[in-house]
Amino acid sequence: MEPHQPDSAARYLEPYRQAIARHGPSFEATLWMNPQAQIRRFDIIVEMIDPTGLRLIDAGCARGELGRHLAALGKAPAAYIGLDALPEFIRAARSDPIEGLPEVVFDTADFVADTSVFGTYVPDLTVFSGSLNTLAREQALDVVGRAYDQSRVGVVFNFLSTRHHPRYSALDTGPANRYDPTKVVAWALDMTPKVRFRQDYFDGHDATVAMFKLDD
């Protein structure tokens, strides 16, 4: 059921390929700041959209840490579908089974280049946690928009914000891009009036948007 293989020349994947070459498919290769920051972002996502009982795509799952965290929280989705364009991450995720979730799937898929991905897996909810960082804002929102169209309940995604505490001004974010949250939220509101926005954690370094489908 896996979509076509990722484009080997995709520039947005290159920072991760380089990190895997240095560190293997480890936490360091995910380019997260630290495990605590990763978990905090996961918790914000869960607070904004409860995934319990939903068919969930983790778009850019790396080693499946979101799925493991949901299992630890007792917030089990009906199906956890981890997708990543880097086969090294998918092999690492498959080698370490997640206990406590009713259905777990890990597949190699480039959800940026392959426009069929979200329709193929028919999710209730699609989550992007850190997986948009190497995309320009317009490209990232195009991806989120496709996921929103194909998700029954909605999508939730985070990104680095341009409206942050001054102490982050000189911070080197490496390959990650910052987006203007006012423009992101305005785009989301053009898609649906049911939008949640949070930037009350990490002093504005990060922001999270949840977009819900309208009730029938």
Query: In the predicted model, what is the mean pLDDT of residues 126-145?
Result: 97
State the amino acid at position 84 in one-letter form.
Answer: D
pLDDT digits (tens, 9 = 90+) for 147-201: 999 999 999 999 999 999 999 988 888 899 999 999 999 999 999 999 999 999 9
Predicted pLDDT at 5: 47
Q: What is the pTM of this model?
A: 0.93
For residues 49 and 210, is the Cβ–Cβ distance under 8 A? Answer: yes
pLDDT digits (tens, 9 = 90+) for 55-79: 999 999 999 999 999 999 999 999 9
Residue-range domain boundaries for the chain: 11-212
Q: How far, in whole angstroms, is CA 148 from its chain's centroid?
A: 13
pLDDT at residue 1 tops 70 = no
Task: Please name the CATH architecture into which domain 11-212 falls.
Answer: 3-Layer(aba) Sandwich (3.40)
